[in-house]
Amino acid sequence: MDWFKRAKEGLKPQKRKEMPNLWVKCDNCGEIIYKRELERNFHVCTKCQYHFRINSQEYIKILLDEGKFDEFNANLKSVDFLKFKAHKKYSDQIKDAMKKTGMNEAVRTGLGKIFGYPVVMCIMDFSFIGGSMGSVVGEKIARAIDKSLELHNPLIIVSSSGGARMMEGAMSLMQMAKTSSRLAQLSDAGILYISVLTDPTTGGVTASYAMLGDVILAEPGALIGFAGPRVIKQTIGQDLPDGFQRAEFLLKHGFVDVVVPRHKLKEKIKEIIEFATDMSEISSNGAIDKDKIVEQPINVIDNLQPENPQN
């Protein structure tokens, strides 16, 4: 009888399924968050309300009606006209960034609607070479401003940038004057410009179009400044105040009009547009008639209270 013979095959171990990217650790408080829950919460930590950096496509989904975005000038691409090379050729950096992001440049420009209001949108993407502003970024934003002038629609720029793109030298710095002069034309035409500052907004972008909005909004905790805090500390040889160059610090000192949590951003933009324009005066083709725009100064800040008044 073979009653006590060991079976040839034992229990088969189950194959372990690898399920990467299911959980995300908060950079601020260390909380482990289920990724889908984070996405449902607009990529904001459910424990400490830390705002994670998100790409341009996510802002399109959050801000625009049904996530619909009619992009223009998407085919414009940067050229390595200086043959710049540091740790890597600039031309190779462009190729890598295009492959990584699926974009041709660090900004998307196009048309969309916010609660039915037609707007011209520019959304920067930090994942494309740090959201740096080169000749193509400046050109795309300038063309978007021209489109806003043509349609008389409000302009909204969502900034997320490390500043001017050093690989393009003086050409990148010229974009500061280029975009600023175009915005002066927009202001003269009485067309609303809302600037939304996200983490980070620094360098030449801060020194130009990011701080020229009729109303300047910022996400909580966003780093906003020209030079970085470490550079400033080394230059002046002094410790900097707590929260220096963060959105709440800038709000307290008058550089930002309102600090708005991400989930309220779309609603806040709508409030500003409604204050500056009257929906009944929008023409049949969806454009806002510049002659119908409220001509009095936009004291919208009186109607928009900061989320944290104590700051």
Structural domains in the chain, CATH included, are 20-52 (no CATH), 54-303 (3.90.226.10)
Q: Are 70 and 110 in contact (CB under 8 A)?
A: yes
Nearest to 196, CA basis, from 310, 280, 114, 75: 114
Rounded to a whole number of angstroms, the CA Rg of the chain reads 23
CA distance linking residue 128 with residue 55, whole number of Å: 9
Q: According to the model, what pLDDT value does residue 293 have?
A: 47
Q: Are 212 and 180 in contact (CB under 8 A)?
A: yes
pLDDT tens-place string over residues 27-76: 999 999 999 999 999 999 999 999 999 999 999 999 999 999 999 999 99
Element holding 57 (H helix, E strand)? helix 56-63
Look at the chain and count its residues: 311
Average pLDDT per 10 consecutive residues for the chain, totaling 311 residues: 58 60 94 96 97 98 96 97 93 97 98 98 98 98 99 98 96 98 96 98 98 98 93 91 95 97 98 77 51 48 52 45
Q: According to the model, what pLDDT value does residue 251 have?
A: 98
Three-class SS state of 248: helix
CA distances from 70 to 47, 57, 108, 111, 265 (A): 35, 12, 10, 5, 20
Neighbours of 39 (CB within 10 A): 15
Element holding 92 (H helix, E strand)? helix 90-101
The most distant pair of C-alpha atoms in the chain lies apart, rounded to whole Å, by 103
CA distances from 234 to 34, 81, 163, 226, 238 (A): 40, 34, 20, 15, 8
CA distance linking residue 35 with residue 2, whole number of Å: 54
Element holding 200 (H helix, E strand)? strand 193-201
Q: Are 229 and 200 in contact (CB under 8 A)?
A: no
Neighbours of 187 (CB within 10 A): 13
Q: According to the model, what pLDDT value does residue 2 have?
A: 58
* Angle of the 265-276 helix axis to the 56-63 helix axis, nearest 10: 60
Q: Which two tokens stand for residue 310?
A: 């104590």
In the beta sheet, which residues pair with residue 113?
118
The amino acid sitting at 243 is: G
